[in-house]
């Protein structure tokens, strides 16, 4: 076993540190973030920093790092107040990865990387047609993190576009059936296999498997 301390982390070669720190927390949510500018230019970027913030109201958070996601994304969200999160499937995960390339401002990653836009009436931001789980959000709050210049965006879920059969009786969305992928670190892509679903935990009671669901 090795113990790596602050002093070792700060002395690491830059790319080694980025790879290590990015991979520490395990598997991450993987989504394509869709936006549109006031002029109608669309933007699509891959993010792995979305997190659940609450169900009532339905809120999600995510991190925008200016140097990676380009300023277009943040500018578009600020000007339209809307964005979409769309899951990533194995059939086209390489194209999804390709959206992280540094395309010039004004070039849409939808077109460059082979994604079809899908619009809902009354909602400006584009969804990814090829995805099976798509969420439309309205910006609620922008939090600037002074410590490292990143931005945390908080959005309210106002649209959910998915297939009926993916939502189970109790509301749980079945990501196995949806074909959703996950990512570890910067660039390692995975498809999860189901292990078990467990009942609500209570003190003094053995953990119980729920048999009703997956896969």
Applying the rule CB under 8 A, the residues between 92 and 131 that interact with its own copies are 93-95, 97-104, 107, 112, 120
Least CB distance from residue 168 to its own copies, whole Å? 8
The answer to whether 78 and 37 have CB atoms below 8 angstroms apart is: no
User: Of 172, 175, 179, 151, nearest to 74 (Cα)?
Assistant: 151
Instruction: Write out the binding residues for its own copies, residues 188-207 only, by CB under 8 A.
Output: 188-203, 205, 207
Least CB distance from residue 125 to its own copies, whole Å? 14
**Residue carrying structure tokens 């490292």:** 148
**Residue carrying structure tokens 């210049």:** 149
51 binds its own copies (CB under 8 A): yes
181 binds its own copies (CB under 8 A): yes
Instruction: Write out the binding residues for its own copies, residues 14-43 only, by CB under 8 A.
Output: 14-31
Instruction: Considering only the C-alpha atoms of the chain, give the largest distance between any 2 of them, rounded to a whole number of Å.
Output: 59
Instruction: Return all residues near 212 (Cβ < 8 A) that are at least 6 apart.
Output: 169, 197
Instruction: Write out the binding residues for its own copies, residues 149-178 only, by CB under 8 A.
Output: 150, 152, 154, 156-164, 167-168, 170-173, 175-176
């Amino acid at each position: 076993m090795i113990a790596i301390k602050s002093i070792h982390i700060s002395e690491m070669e830059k790319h080694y540190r980025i790879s290590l720190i990015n991979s520490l927390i395990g598997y991450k949510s993987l989504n394509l973030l869709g936006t549109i500018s006031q002029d109608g230019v669309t933007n699509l970027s891959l993010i792995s920093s979305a997190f659940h913030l609450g169900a009532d109201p339905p809120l999600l958070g995510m991190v925008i790092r200016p140097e990676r996601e380009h300023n277009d994304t943040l500018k578009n969200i600020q000007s339209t107040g809307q964005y979409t999160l769309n899951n990533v499937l194995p059939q086209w995960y390489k194209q999804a990865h390709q959206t992280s390339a540094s395309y010039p401002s004004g070039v849409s990653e939808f077109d460059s990387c082979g994604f079809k836009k899908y619009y809902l009436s009354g909602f400006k931001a584009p969804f990814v047609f090829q995805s099976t789980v798509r969420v439309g959000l309205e910006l609620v709050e922008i939090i600037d993190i002074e410590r490292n210049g990143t931005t945390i965006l908080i959005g309210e879920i106002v649209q959910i576009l998915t297939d009926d059969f993916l939502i189970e009786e109790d509301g749980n969305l079945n990501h196995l059936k949806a074909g959703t992928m996950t990512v570890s670190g910067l660039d390692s892509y995975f498809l999860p296999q189901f292990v078990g679903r467990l009942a609500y935990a209570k003190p003094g009671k053995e953990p119980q498997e729920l048999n009703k669901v997956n896969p």
